[in-house]
Each structure stands twice: as structure tokens, then as C-alpha cells.
Amino acid sequence: MKNFMRKDHDKNRKKRIARLALMFFVFSGIASLCFAEDDGKEGTDDNENHRSEIAILDSANTRLWFALSYTDCTVPGSLTLGAQEYARYYLGWTKILNDAGIAFDLIYDSDISEQGLKGLKVLILSNAVALTKDEMEAIEKWVHQGGHLLATYGSGYEDIVFDKNQVQIRPADGGNGELSEIWGDPFTKLFSSAAIDPLYPGVDIRITQSSGPTAYLNGKVPTTLSYGGLGNILVSRVDPSVLGFLAFNPRVNWTTPQPGIVSQRYGNGWVVYYAFAPEFIVGLEFDLAGHCKGDPNYSAYNLWVGRSAALRSLMKATIIYLLNGTGPGPSDHDESDGPGRDPVVPAHSYMKKER
């Protein structure tokens, strides 16, 4: 484990995506053995090596998934970074923690085991879309025994799909142990908001309850948080565990309430799930993973500046809530950075497209 922010510089070309992606998911059961070690990072079964109460998963398996699913900068006109696109997610969380002065560990696929998770209070899964069955089962057991989980977007799902016919419901007996069951979603695959209306797939987040991680936000940020990226369409429900909903473009004819923020107990632990990825916008605004030459959003001026202030407030409040059970003090609020200009390419254009 490393207690610092790391930038990965992997460069991978997108080749025969459909065939390779299929091969990847067929062999995902052995992915942690094959890929985590290839990254030169070793896990540990000694919980005394946890220097911090909070950890972020830097998953080599997920990085491979991104390499197979996105073009990189070697492809003319690409705005995505191949394998390095994953860094735009988890590095967003490292910035939040570093800025807040909160110590954390980066951990890896080989650390995700019953013994390896001992000593952690909070685990962050940042769009970790390629967890193995063993990893999901270890995390589920850890949360049930008292761990606190913060998961975003595709974390804990088998895949991301854009076709309603590909959505699968977990069997009544619990299915294959997907993490999504611990935040009450019976789908085994993430169902992208792009399937609702491909022309207007981006969503914002409408806060509807001032409770738990959102309590501190009441009156301090807009009721609707600007996001603009893709959301995960969960099973519709309205209950005390749902603190916010996805807000669709007014042009989209969709009135069913879709949970955007879920916060609930699971066994002796707690889980907060975002059906979106605010850390992605943070990664873009601060260019944490770099960008391709010629990206119009970083030409003369970084057009992402000012886009993540309210999202950063939510992220920070959620972390502090899971660590302490309370929100940050008034002096810790992230003030708005100003409106800025609209990016040339909207945030949802950076998200994964249908394969």
C-alpha cells in the first residue's frame, strides 16, 4: 500500500474491443491474480499496515477494463485516455482527501480480502467496474461486519449496458454476490441513462433530503447539483434511504423517480452509493490524469474550471460523515469557484459509449 497520490502513465490502444471485452469478463474470476501483480503492487494480509482509517481502491482489473473500452491519445481526435481514463475517477477522490488533510491509503485488488480489509473504517470504490466475485464477496462481508463503504456509478456491477434488454435482475436467492444488493438495487448490470434518451443522456443531482451526508449541504449549495454526466438507472423507489434523485434534461420525457444518492445501513456497517461519479468532474477540472493534445477543453483555457465546487462539497461531507458520523464545520465549506464558460464537449461525451 502507498499513502500518496499516484499518477499512472499506462498507454494502451483500443483493439478489437468487443472480443477482448468478452474475454476479459469470462476470465474476470482470475483477474486479480493476473493483473494486480502485473502492476507491480503487492497486497498484504497484515492489517497493521493500514496507516489510515480510509482507503481508495486503485484497481488494475478496472484499469484493464478501461483500456479495452476507451480510445487513448494515440487515436486522432480522442478525448479519452484509454487505461488512464480510470485515473480521472479515483484521483478525484485523492484530491478531496488531500485538500481536506485526511490521511488515506491507496490499496489494490490483491488487498481486497477479508484479512486485507481489517483495520479500515471507510473504503472508496470509484467506478470500479471490474471487481471479481471474490472481491465483491469480501467487501460485502466487511460492510456487514461494520465497515463503511462509499461507492460510485459502475462499482459493484458486472458491466455497463445501454440496452434495456441487457438489464438483468438478480435471482431471489441473492445471485452471484454483486455489491449492488447492499444498496438495494436488484440489477446485476449498470443501466446507463444514455438508454433513456441518447440525445440528452446527461443528468444532474437533485437533493431532496437533508440527512446524513447531505445534512451539511442544506442551504449551502444549490438544491440541484450540476453534473452533466451519465447516471445509473436504479430500481425506482422513494424512501428515507434515498437522499437525492437524478434530474434529467427537461427535454427528456421521464418522470419516474430515479435514486441518485442512497445512504443506508447494511448489517453492522453503512453504505453510501452515488448513481453518478462526481469525482470524474473533479478529475477533469483539475486535469489530474492529464489530457490528449488538441483537447478543445484545455486549449487556451481550462473550460472545466468551476464545475465541481458543489460536487466537492458533497464528496467531502460524505467522507467526513462516514468517518465520524457528522458533517464538516461551516469553515470547511467549498465556496463556488464561479460559473465559468460551458465546455466545448459536455461531460457526458466523455463517458463510456455503447460498444
Angle at 187 between CA 181 and CA 190, to 5 degrees: 110
Asked if residues 129 and 154 have their Cβ atoms less than 8 Å apart, the reply is yes
Asked if residues 83 and 11 have their Cβ atoms less than 8 Å apart, the reply is yes
What CATH number did the domain enclosing 137 receive?
3.40.50.880
Q: For 272-293, how does the pLDDT look when each residue is reduced to its tens digit (9 = 90+)?
A: 999 999 999 999 999 999 999 9
Return d(Cα 304, Cα 346) in angstroms, integer.
10
Model pTM greater than 0.85? Answer: no
Look at residue 268 and tell me if it is in a domain.
yes
Look at residue 52 and tell me if it is in a domain.
yes
**How many domains is the chain partitioned into structurally?**
1
Look at residue 11 and tell me if it is in a domain.
no
Asked if residues 314 and 225 have their Cβ atoms less than 8 Å apart, the reply is yes
Cell numbers 441518485 label which residue?
260
Look at residue 315 and tell me if it is in a domain.
yes
Q: How far is CA 264 from CA 68, 172, 242, 247, 279, in A?
A: 34, 21, 8, 21, 21
Q: For 307-332, how does the pLDDT look when each residue is reduced to its tens digit (9 = 90+)?
A: 999 999 999 999 999 998 755 544 34
Q: For 190-237, how does the pLDDT look when each residue is reduced to its tens digit (9 = 90+)?
A: 778 988 888 989 999 999 999 889 988 877 788 899 999 999 999 889
Domain that holds residue 67: 17-350
Return d(Cα 321, Cα 281) in angstroms, integer.
21
Q: How far is CA 166 from CA 169, 211, 217, 229, in A?
A: 10, 34, 36, 21
Look at residue 187 and tell me if it is in a domain.
yes
Look at residue 103 and tell me if it is in a domain.
yes
Q: How confident is the model at residue 177 (pLDDT cuts 50, 70, 90)?
A: low
Closest C-alpha among 113, 117, 53, 273 to residue 184 = 273
